Amino acid sequence: MDRFDAMTLFVRIVESGSFTKAANGLGIPRASATLAIQQMEKRLGVRLLERTTRQVRTTPEGRAFHERCVQLLTELEDAEATLRPVADNPAGVLRVEMHGAQARQIVLPRIQEFHHRYPRLNLILTSGDRRVDLVGEGIDCALRSGAPEDSSLIARKLADLPQVICASPEYLAQVGHPSHPNELHKHQVVSFFSGNNAVDSTLDLIVDGQPQSFAAKGWITVNDASSYVESARQGCGMIQLPRFHVESLLESGELVEVLPEWPKPSMPLHAVYPQRRQLSPRVRVFLEWVTLVYAEYFG
């Protein structure tokens, strides 16, 4: 087994957590997979994997090597793509990261369209509120809300997400409905933070044509969107987020819009990806498809 095949095997083992699954996926005997990893560890002089009867885990050295292998294999795929006519029907693995609510409500309901159009692509979709390191973790593309923060990434705008401020009926019955943004300082909010970002306890509205932030009090802070919404449902205070995320709760009355007559600034959504001289065909076709999906959803 040559080095690139061994690297592919190693990445498959790490991602599946199993020698057997990785070997089956590559069509080789498990014994051959075990031998190849042993030879790789011997050549490198470090232990890459910790093996038990139930699971396989990477050592610290193995995690670092996995990240580098993903980068190298991606670059190899991209290099080969420039030398063969696969631009319109790319093959290989596409790794995409996006917020869980967007995956569930916008992208996944139409994902079979993408698969039927590009059947040779295998999609690895990761979701969460953690801001991942695209280059370090081998992610091809990510969908991120807000203004782009990392100047080392290329950003392509997908949509402007309409926002809403809302709270539970129980909270508003107890505290009252504000009639003007200037009354928001009397209210409670659910604070939010993500990664290294500062805690956000403000509510943003457009007043006299200009966006303004209004500070409010709060006693609970969360770092993931599901907890953010659930805290509002439990009467902990007001929240502000893209409307699509809570549309069903607004329709059912579990949450109530606050200050509906006052416009809120929209939240930009971008697709971001590492800078390269040539955009990977895998990423290019995904960007073309997902841009259309968002344009139709928010059009």
Which tops the pLDDT comparison, 279 or 20?
20
Residue 237's contacts (CB-CB under 8 Å, 6 or more residues apart) are 167, 171, 187, 188, 189, 190, 216, 218, 219, 220, 231
- What's the pLDDT score for residue 278? 63
User: Would you call 139 helix, strand, or coil by DSSP?
Assistant: coil
Cβ contact 229:239 at 8 Å? yes
- 136 DSSP 8-state letter: T
The CATH fold assigned to 85-158+269-299 is: D-Maltodextrin-Binding Protein; domain 2 (3.40.190)
Cβ contact 237:258 at 8 Å? no
Q: Is the pLDDT of residue 242 over 80?
A: yes
Q: Is 267 left (phi over 0), alpha (psi -120 to 50) or beta?
A: beta
pLDDT-based confidence at 51, cuts 50/70/90?
Answer: confident
- 146 DSSP 8-state letter: S
Report if pTM > 0.75. no
Q: Is the pLDDT of residue 177 over 90?
A: yes
- What's the pLDDT score for residue 195? 65
Whether 163-265 and 1-62 are alike in CATH topology: the answer is no
Q: What is the pLDDT of residues 126-172, one digit of tens each?
A: 987 677 778 778 889 999 998 887 777 899 999 999 999 999 999 99
Q: What is the pLDDT of residues 87-131, one digit of tens each?
A: 578 988 999 999 999 999 999 999 999 999 999 999 999 987 677
Cβ contact 172:198 at 8 Å? no
Domain ranges across the chain: 1-62, 85-158+269-299, 163-265
Give the pair of three-digit tokens for residue 215.
């500070």
Architecture of domain 1-62: Orthogonal Bundle (1.10)
Q: How many helices (H) and strands (E) does the chain have?
A: 10, 14
- What's the pLDDT score for residue 234? 98
Q: What homologous superfamily does CATH list for 163-265?
A: Periplasmic binding protein-like II (3.40.190.10)
Cβ contact 270:148 at 8 Å? yes
